[in-house]
Amino acid sequence: MMAKSKVMSINEALKPITSNATIMMGGFVGAGEPTCCIDWLVENEIKGITLIANEPGLSGFGKAKLYKHGLVKELIASHVGTTAESTEEYLKGNILIEQFYPMGTWAEKVRAGAMGLGGVLVPVGVGILDEEGLFPNLKEPKKVINVNGVDCFAEPALTAPFSIVKAWRADELGNLQYRYSSMNCNPIVAMAGEYTIAEVEEIVPVGTIPPECVGTAAPFVNAVVKGLSLEEHNKIYRDHWIKIGKLKPEV
């Protein structure tokens, strides 16, 4: 195939993102986060971000830098408390959260967006999340529909003009392969973005990734950027785990 390579510099890949952008990001509490792209957003002072993410990330790491620098104005997520930085900004009134979604509901809204659907019917939280006054900032009341005798929320799909994901490796066409539990929500986030940037540890020749191992297919990816290597990531996480006492220091 003689298709143009999607591999480019981080600067070229992220240039279209300006302040007040809505950005969807992959990752689960700091695992599988596009940290180099996040550094670019911080360095380029992209402010007023509406961030669509599973949860805010891990304290002192990745996404947490966005809150620390006051760059996020709204968070669409299942949680706000996994980082000290997002907690502080939220409690000061600097980050708007219209409502919290159960994690599975958030994931299905993003998947519906990824798959070109209007939305999903979700039974979780009916009778709780639509309780009067629970979420005073709701733009419209939560809609309940009864299907086959089950009351469900009709949840609209979530898409975004920009999606930034992290994968293990990519080929030049933009096929992505994920590694172990760092996959998490990266595949649905990748597909739900109109313009998707994938940050990877390794760029491999076309044909290296077995077709059945492709976690996100090339047509869903617009730009591939090289981030830190797997070795560098292993060291960063290992040092962090030793520092917080989860692992004993190596002898």
The contact set with another protein (CB under 8 A) reads 28-32, 54-55, 58, 77-82, 87, 90-93, 97, 100-105, 107-108, 111, 123-125, 127-128, 131, 134, 168, 179-185, 187-188, 230, 233-234, 236-238, 241-242, 246-250
Residue 181 tokens, joined: 């539990």
Phi and psi for 216 in degrees, rounded to 5? -135, 125
CB of 100 or CB of 162, closer to another protein: 100
Residue 22 tokens, joined: 């809505």
| Shortest Å distance, C-beta 204 to another protein | 17
HEC string for 31-48? ECCCHHHHHHHHHCCCCC
CB of 46 or CB of 68, closer to another protein: 68
CB of 29 or CB of 46, closer to another protein: 29
CB of 46 or CB of 158, closer to another protein: 158
The CA-CA-CA angle for residues 109, 83, 176, to 5°, reads: 50
CB 194 within 8 A of CB 16: no
| Shortest Å distance, C-beta 45 to another protein | 26
Q: How long, in residues, is the chain?
A: 251
Residue 25 tokens, joined: 């990001």
| Shortest Å distance, C-beta 11 to another protein | 25
CB 168 within 8 A of CB 201: yes
Chain CA centroid to CA 214, Å: 19
Other Cβ atoms less than 10 A from the Cβ of 121: the count is 16
CB 223 within 8 A of CB 198: yes
Tell me the CB-side half-sphere exposure of residue 50, using CA atoms within 13 A: 11
CB of 70 or CB of 206, closer to another protein: 70
CB of 48 or CB of 102, closer to another protein: 102
| Shortest Å distance, C-beta 184 to another protein | 5
| Shortest Å distance, C-beta 82 to another protein | 7
